[in-house]
Amino acid sequence: MNISIFLSIIFILSFLILFWFTHHENQKEEKKDRLLTLLIVAGMFSVIITFVFVLFLFLIMGSTSVIDIMFSLELTTNQLLVIGISFLIYWFTIDHILGKVFEYVLGENIYAIIALAVSRVVSFNMIGMFIKLNEVMNMTISIGVSLILLSIEMLYVLRKKEMIED
């Protein structure tokens, strides 16, 4: 139930923003499109944006689920959904800001990536405390999900470096 509400909110927000944008840009042109065309375009792009959110949400929830299974934490489905959605919201907002700050201060190197991973552990731990997870479960999930995201980022950086060298 929580996931459908979250995805509905994402769809509605993206639809409203995209419809406003396409309508605003359409007013600038001489040949104006019909309202139905604008609705279809906004709807299609909103579905794409929602689908991307679903993929990232399943990435986070899958990481949390793997940690749950590996360490026998016995998270409920409701806890898994709340953790996944909370981590996703953090990852799309504050994490990007912190990433840019670390890149600016430390440069584009391994230290910035490690600093970001440590900040994720702290942030995920605070989210877990807010959700009222017990200490062991909270720390295990915080470190585990941060390490999974760190490994994904490292693979991306290594692949990018390999492409540049070729």
Please give the DSSP secondary-structure letter assigned to residue 118: H
The pTM of this model reads 0.84
Q: What is the C-alpha separation between 128 and 5, in angstroms, rounded? A: 21
* Residue span of the structural domain in which 143 resides: 2-165
- Res. 95: pLDDT tops 70: yes
pLDDT tens, 62-82?
Answer: 999 999 999 999 898 889 989
- Residue 1 has a pLDDT of 61
Q: String of b and e for 36-52 (b: at least 16 CB within 10 Å)?
A: eebeebbeebbeebbee
* 40 touches 71 (CB < 8 A): no
Number of domains in the chain: 1
- Residue 19 has a pLDDT of 96
Assign 99 a pLDDT band (cuts: 50, 70, 90).
very high
